[in-house]
Chain A
Amino acid sequence: MAIGEPMKIRAALAGDQTEVKVLMNHEMETGQRKDAQGQTIPAWFIQSVMATWNGKAVLSAQWGTAIAKNPFLSFKFKGGAKGDKILIHWVDSRGDQRTDEAVIA
């Protein structure tokens, strides 16, 4: 099930590399905060992220609760050509997931 707002993904050639910048929409709730009634707000956060280019993994990550709300991620990989597709996929601690794609500019 895809939840939340689409990610903002920018992928652009920089020399022989492709630079990818991703902005995800997620609360990244730590499990440390309490609500107005003093009840602990349960942790809810992205646990795994996978970036693929033409079906090949170019980055994968495991995250804990310390990644900031609406996570930002930037990385570079060799190869990539204008028009190639970049896919970003995440799964959170509730088992919800989302995949968005961008084209290399």
Chain B
Amino acid sequence: MIFPLIDGDAGSGGAGLTVALVLGVAFGFALERAGLGSARKLAGQFYGRDLTVLKVMFSAIVTAALGVLWLSRLGLLDASRVYVPETWLLPQAAGGAVFGIGLVAAGLCPGTSCVAAATGRRDGVAVVGGMLAGVLLFAEAFPLLDRFYDSTPRGTLTIPSLLHVSPAVATAALVAMALGMFAGAERWERRAHVGGGS
């Protein structure tokens, strides 16, 4: 048995959607357990008094990176079938800026806004509504953005291919960075807590 058992895109139909639903619910559950369904938690990240977002996200990245690396090493995962999104430099930088403004303003990202809405937080419902309105607006405005959308294509970039290192080296560097950051974040939070006197 070699994962992925089905390809997520066209052709897999119902099976792909079922897998996506299960993974999505699990993802939402993990986000809620981590407390990220609360805009306060994300705001805490931006004010530097609660680095949960940083730690949760890097935990997920490290887990996924080690998982993909070892599963493919053990022949359980066909890494070449794992979809790597392509890079379009300028449009993605612009999209990132828009996304960032929305994230700071709402204190929720698309994933956590769904979690917040699902647990009945009204700000979550508002953000989901805004997100869907944005999607609609983008679709309607697409003819105007079409050319920019396709500009500066760079194809699929990965850190190993960009830096000419093996996936194992890239993953080890990532893990080292993450562990250092976890330790630093814990220390920072303890200090902020003691000093902040909240």
Tell me if chain B binds chain A: no
Residues of A within 8 A of B (CB): none
Residues of B within 8 A of A (CB): none
